[in-house]
Chains A and B, each alone.
Chain A
Amino acid sequence: MIKNYIKIAWRNLKRNKAYAMINITGLSLSMACGLLIFTLVSYHFSFDDFHPGRDRIYRIVTEIHNENISHTPGVPPPFAKAFRRDFTFADKTARAVTFGNELISIPSSPDNKKFVEESGVACVEPDFFDIFNFPLVQGDKKTALSAAQSALVTEHIAKKYFGTVNAIGKVIRVDNKTDFTITGILQDIPLNTDRKSEIYVSDLSMKDLSEQVANDNAWGDISSETHCFIRLKPGIGPATVEAAFDGMKKKYYANRPGSQKALVFKLQPLSDVHFNPDYNGYADKKYLWALALIGVFLIVTACVNFINLATAQAINRSREVGIRKVLGSLRSQLFWQFIVETALITLFALVVAFGLAQLGLPFINSLFKTELTLHLLGNQLLLLCMLLVFLFVVFLSGSYPGLVLSGFQPVLALKGKLSQKNLGGFSLRRLLVVAQFAISQILIIGTIVIASQMHYSKTSDLGFRKDGIVLLPVPISDSAGRTRMETLRNRLASVSGVENVSFCSQAPASDANNKMDITFGNRPKPELWSVNIKCSDQDYLKVFNLKLAAGRNLSRSDTLREFLVNETFVKKLNLSSPEEVINKTATINGKKALIVGVVRDFYNYSFRDEVDPVALFSSYPQYQQCAIQCSLLHAKPALASFEKIWNETYPEYVYSFQFLDQAIARFYELDDIMLQLI
């Protein structure tokens, strides 16, 4: 019977090539999109799902309750140690601090090879590898990081640096300062994890990498890259642990009542890490669900389309239906015949869709910077989903035409007396068309909304200049680097097209933000909020075109001598006019100085976020970037000169540059991706 169904289905398709083509094209296009979306969404939902006991793994994060609540995935540097010492909730606790874009060099190589790892160097305590399932192919994870100056690298890094995976005993130098000996080789890190680092060094060497983080008393210092991971003992819930943090705060913030009130430590489940935008999660679940919904919409629309076409075709099939009924076919048999026919079309479409998806994958990969692959074999979830989609499409689009056709009165069908009316649900079909239209409308409106939001964010005024500004890294800023900085400044300033040069810790809007406690004037206690500090020289205002609301600019100085603050800072102090802070003192991070000026507010993250209170001051050891304002006309030759000058100034480092507007565009990356997708 089924053979007969397939035979007649096949012949019917051959006879109605146009009909088959339209259906197959429509279906396969939307199923290809569905497949791609599925791959992408399932990729994100698979993040960090391969660690044993992952339900018990948490990251301790910090909420900062001021007037409004801000979030950071970091904790104070001594937190992990204190947690391990004070509590028995966790069977494993590890501090993990990631230093991004570190310079790695190979001292033993004849030409002193240099590398910059975007994924950074992670300085971790040994428990890290008990919490996370990153197996070693060589070396023993129990002892590998138990000595200072030891390091683990992945096979990939080992091959890249030394041309062989057998790199145990070899030495890498981090930041031109500290040597680490490789004591173990990690299996390559899977794609679906947020722990991207490929180089891990022992926590015992922390003081060589960052004095600040190594300081066991730095309870007031929270960096977003200082993480604390724990694996709770079975049976202990996060609420129990969070309840115990109160006592911990009393103990370590005894003389800082402001922080004691403002800081709330929370346990973030590992399954939340990839998704929570509050804590720099990459993929907001909202977007993923929206994407999945779009996928379902697309497939449903294609089905609706299919139903319409198939039902319109039904008239031509009525005689066949009549004959089959006369010959004794049951209604159900006819119904199945049409289902088989639909299944055949769908199967074709699915095969085509799979091909299309393979073609589209590189595009998706470049868009999302992923390395997704689409393999049928070995991906049971994909197979299962394809099967489900197949059945879904077949029954959704096959059953209505099947029911209509199989319901024909044989006598009427034979006489060819059927008309549109006998297709029964003319109104239903009209409804389907309306539904299809509505779905397309929703997609179009959604696109317009996102597009206009994008446009707004791209063109909206962030309160500072962002065009024509090139950022160069300043690799060394200690006293030894001081003279080199001046050389760099003088040489850059003489390049034609360059208008201003400023050294600073970061651009006005940046995702690297540093918050500190602040005490104003003679007020007895620190304020309940913290201030976002940016270190810069006197040319910062000129380069970024920041305007003064009151007072004057910073005067030339190498170290902290005076403060510039922004308008929000004044508002936070509950003062009515900027003039009121001028020539008052402020104590920030224990350093007291006069406030000499107030700058107009600028967005210090993206326009989606609120403006923080900001303090600007000079302090050359903090300078990490050199911001060059240059006229766009000369950009090309100027860039070449920048590279040359920079390389001559810092021969032992790796040059890179960034346009500020591109750096800012990165904040809106996900919006951008959504836009391109739709």
Chain B
Amino acid sequence: MINIKDLEKIYRTEEVETIALNKLTLEVKEGEFVAIMGPSGCGKSTLLNILGLLDDPDSGSFIFNNIEVAHFNERKRADLRKHNIGFVFQSFNLIDELTVFENVELPLIYTGVKAAERKKKVEEVLDKVQIMHRRNHYPQQLSGGQQQRVAVARAVVNNPKLILADEPTGNLDSSNGNEVMQLLTELNEQGTTIVMVTHSEHDARYSHRIIRMLDGQTVTQNILI
């Protein structure tokens, strides 16, 4: 599903030039659950953003579902993203002005799903993450764990093939964190490919394969199953 070769990403500011990704090569197959680990600043988030088509690489090739997407323009990337990729962030990133229901509904609005079907789909996923009873609350009225469950619901409501999670448990205590990891595992079992960045060895064990990074390159891969 994902095939990356010699990917480079360099951040230039006035004083310094940071090589965030240095000729990185990576392959993720459909249905896999991959964890990415490594010290702070080694380029994990940068990689995830490129995988999620939020950022573009400076050079190298990125083949997603057999299509070269490294140099897609904004419109094409947005299109590919909204139909195929869901995101879960460390800081939840829910919109405060919208209710739980409306937050989860948002991706469906952008993919042009009709209102009646939207309602059905949103209720379905809210049920799945057990937050249905809070559907009309605003994010601030929820606990961190609940908020992250809403974020997961939003990520999957469009049935994406790929879920990218950047330290999804980073802001949660261990029991809430486990709940979220449980959710991701379930999704993976239903066929969704998951790429997750984490600092926690415990969380990494939920995955099939751990990729370790250092200075913008992959160093080792542990196959867990």
Q: Spell out A's residues near B (CB within 8 Å).
A: 1, 4, 7-8, 11-12, 15, 319-320, 322-331, 333, 409-411, 414
The distance in angstroms between the C-alpha atoms of A324 and B78, with both chains bound, is 10
Report yes or no: B93 in contact with A322, Cβ–Cβ below 8 A: yes
Report yes or no: A411 in contact with B49, Cβ–Cβ below 8 A: yes
Check: B111 CB closer than 8 A to any chain A CB.
yes
Report yes or no: B109 in contact with A411, Cβ–Cβ below 8 A: no
Report yes or no: B93 in contact with A323, Cβ–Cβ below 8 A: yes
Can you spell out 14 A-B residue pairs with CB atoms less than 8 angstroms apart?
A7-B102, A8-B98, A15-B97, A319-B93, A320-B97, A322-B93, A324-B95, A325-B78, A326-B87, A328-B78, A328-B82, A328-B83, A328-B107, A414-B89
Question: Which residue on chain B has the smallest CB distance to residue A319?
Answer: B93
Report yes or no: B95 in contact with A411, Cβ–Cβ below 8 A: no
The 9 closest A-B pairs by CB, nearest first: A328-B82, A328-B110, A11-B97, A327-B107, A323-B93, A410-B54, A328-B78, A411-B54, A411-B49
Report yes or no: A328 in contact with B97, Cβ–Cβ below 8 A: no
The distance in angstroms between the C-alpha atoms of A328 and B107, with both chains bound, is 7
Least CB distance from B114 to A in Å reads: 12
Least CB distance from A235 to B in Å reads: 60
Report yes or no: B95 in contact with A323, Cβ–Cβ below 8 A: yes
Known: A326-B87, A410-B54, A411-B55. 17 other contacts (CB 8 A): A1-B109, A8-B97, A12-B97, A322-B93, A324-B110, A326-B93, A327-B87, A327-B106, A327-B110, A328-B79, A328-B81, A328-B82, A328-B107, A329-B78, A330-B78, A409-B55, A411-B54
The distance in angstroms between the C-alpha atoms of A320 and B102, with both chains bound, is 13
Q: What are the residues of chain B within 8 A of A11 when measuring CB–CB?
A: 97-98
Least CB distance from B77 to A in Å reads: 9
Least CB distance from B39 to A in Å reads: 19
Within 8 A of A (CB), among B49-67: 49, 52, 54-55
| With A330-B75, A411-B49: A4-B109 Cβ-Cβ less than 8 Å | yes
Q: What are the residues of chain A within 8 A of B106 when measuring CB–CB?
A: 4, 324, 327
Q: What are the residues of chain A within 8 A of B109 when measuring CB–CB?
A: 1, 4
Identify the interface centre among A11, A323, A333: most chain B CB within 10 Å of its CB. A323
Q: What are the residues of chain B within 8 A of A330 when measuring CB–CB?
A: 74-75, 78
The distance in angstroms between the C-alpha atoms of A325 and B107, with both chains bound, is 10
| With A8-B98, A320-B97: A327-B54 Cβ-Cβ less than 8 Å | no
Q: What are the residues of chain B within 8 A of A333 when measuring CB–CB?
A: 110
Question: Which residue on chain A has the smallest CB distance to residue B91?
Answer: A414
Report yes or no: B97 in contact with A326, Cβ–Cβ below 8 A: no
Q: What are the residues of chain B within 8 A of A409 when measuring CB–CB?
A: 55
Q: What are the residues of chain B within 8 A of A322 when measuring CB–CB?
A: 93
The distance in angstroms between the C-alpha atoms of A323 and B97, with both chains bound, is 12
Q: Interface readout for B154-178 with A: 1 if CB under 8 Å, 0 if not?
A: 1000000000000000000000000
Q: What are the residues of chain B within 8 A of A324 when measuring CB–CB?
A: 95, 106, 110
Within 8 A of A (CB), among B118-160: 154
The distance in angstroms between the C-alpha atoms of A98 and B55, with both chains bound, is 81
Question: Which residue on chain A has the smallest CB distance to residue B87?
Answer: A326
Q: Spell out B's residues near A (CB within 8 Å).
A: 49, 52, 54-55, 74-75, 78-79, 81-83, 87, 89, 93-95, 97-98, 102, 106-107, 109-111, 154
Question: Which residue on chain B has the smallest CB distance to residue A332?
Answer: B75
Least CB distance from A4 to B in Å reads: 6
Report yes or no: B110 in contact with A326, Cβ–Cβ below 8 A: no
Least CB distance from B99 to A in Å reads: 10
Q: What are the residues of chain A within 8 A of B93 when measuring CB–CB?
A: 319, 322-323, 326, 414
SS class of chain A's interface: helix, strand, loop or mixed?
A: helix
The distance in angstroms between the C-alpha atoms of A4 and B52, with both chains bound, is 25
Least CB distance from A182 to B in Å reads: 70
The distance in angstroms between the C-alpha atoms of A1 and B78, with both chains bound, is 17
Report yes or no: A326 in contact with B111, Cβ–Cβ below 8 A: no
The distance in angstroms between the C-alpha atoms of A7 and B106, with both chains bound, is 13
Identify the interface centre among B54, B89, B111: most chain A CB within 10 Å of its CB. B54
Q: What are the residues of chain B within 8 A of A323 when measuring CB–CB?
A: 93-95
The distance in angstroms between the C-alpha atoms of A246 and B149, with both chains bound, is 96
Q: What are the residues of chain B within 8 A of A325 when measuring CB–CB?
A: 54, 78
Identify the interface centre among A15, A327, A411: most chain B CB within 10 Å of its CB. A327
The distance in angstroms between the C-alpha atoms of A247 and B5, with both chains bound, is 98
The distance in angstroms between the C-alpha atoms of A328 and B109, with both chains bound, is 10
Q: What are the residues of chain B within 8 A of A8 when measuring CB–CB?
A: 95, 97-98
Least CB distance from B86 to A in Å reads: 9
Question: Which residue on chain A has the smallest CB distance to residue B110?
Answer: A328
The distance in angstroms between the C-alpha atoms of A243 and B55, with both chains bound, is 78
Report yes or no: A329 in contact with B110, Cβ–Cβ below 8 A: yes
Least CB distance from B121 to A in Å reads: 14
Q: What are the residues of chain A within 8 A of B75 when measuring CB–CB?
A: 330
Q: Which of B55, B74, B81 contacts A331 (CB under 8 A)? A: B74
The distance in angstroms between the C-alpha atoms of A409 and B81, with both chains bound, is 15
The distance in angstroms between the C-alpha atoms of A15 and B95, with both chains bound, is 13
The distance in angstroms between the C-alpha atoms of A563 and B109, with both chains bound, is 94
Least CB distance from A326 to B in Å reads: 5
Identify the interface centre among B79, B81, B154: most chain A CB within 10 Å of its CB. B81
Question: Which residue on chain A has the smallest CB distance to residue B115?
Answer: A3
Least CB distance from A169 to B in Å reads: 74
Least CB distance from A2 to B in Å reads: 11
Least CB distance from A417 to B in Å reads: 12
Question: Which residue on chain B has the smallest CB distance to residue A409?
Answer: B55
Q: What are the residues of chain B within 8 A of A331 when measuring CB–CB?
A: 74
The distance in angstroms between the C-alpha atoms of A11 and B97, with both chains bound, is 6
Q: What are the residues of chain A within 8 A of B94 when measuring CB–CB?
A: 323
| With A4-B109, A333-B110, A414-B89: A326-B95 Cβ-Cβ less than 8 Å | no
The distance in angstroms between the C-alpha atoms of A497 and B111, with both chains bound, is 91
Q: Which of A1, A4, A7, A326 contacts B54 (CB under 8 A)? A: A326
Least CB distance from B190 to A in Å reads: 21
Least CB distance from B9 to A in Å reads: 11
Q: What are the residues of chain A within 8 A of B78 when measuring CB–CB?
A: 325, 328-330
Identify the interface centre among B87, B97, B154: most chain A CB within 10 Å of its CB. B97
The distance in angstroms between the C-alpha atoms of A327 and B106, with both chains bound, is 7
The distance in angstroms between the C-alpha atoms of A325 and B49, with both chains bound, is 12
Q: What are the residues of chain B within 8 A of A7 when measuring CB–CB?
A: 102
Q: What are the residues of chain B within 8 A of A326 when measuring CB–CB?
A: 52, 54, 81, 87, 93
Q: What are the residues of chain B within 8 A of A327 when measuring CB–CB?
A: 82, 87, 106-107, 110, 154
Least CB distance from B129 to A in Å reads: 17
Least CB distance from A270 to B in Å reads: 58
Q: What are the residues of chain A within 8 A of B79 when measuring CB–CB?
A: 328
Least CB distance from A320 to B in Å reads: 5
The distance in angstroms between the C-alpha atoms of A327 and B79, with both chains bound, is 10
The distance in angstroms between the C-alpha atoms of A104 and B79, with both chains bound, is 83
The distance in angstroms between the C-alpha atoms of A545 and B97, with both chains bound, is 78
Question: Which residue on chain B has the smallest CB distance to residue A416?
Answer: B91
Q: What are the residues of chain A within 8 A of B95 when measuring CB–CB?
A: 8, 320, 323-324
Question: Which residue on chain A has the smallest CB distance to residue B93?
Answer: A323
Least CB distance from B166 to A in Å reads: 10
Least CB distance from B157 to A in Å reads: 10
Least CB distance from A319 to B in Å reads: 7
Identify the interface centre among B83, B110, B154: most chain A CB within 10 Å of its CB. B110
The distance in angstroms between the C-alpha atoms of A41 and B95, with both chains bound, is 47
The distance in angstroms between the C-alpha atoms of A411 and B56, with both chains bound, is 11
The distance in angstroms between the C-alpha atoms of A649 and B110, with both chains bound, is 90
The distance in angstroms between the C-alpha atoms of A330 and B78, with both chains bound, is 7
Least CB distance from A415 to B in Å reads: 9
Q: What are the residues of chain B within 8 A of A4 when measuring CB–CB?
A: 102, 106, 109
Least CB distance from B141 to A in Å reads: 15
Least CB distance from B50 to A in Å reads: 10
Q: What are the residues of chain A within 8 A of B87 when measuring CB–CB?
A: 326-327
The distance in angstroms between the C-alpha atoms of A413 and B37, with both chains bound, is 24
The distance in angstroms between the C-alpha atoms of A324 and B54, with both chains bound, is 12
Q: What are the residues of chain A within 8 A of B82 when measuring CB–CB?
A: 327-328
Q: What are the residues of chain A within 8 A of B98 when measuring CB–CB?
A: 8, 11
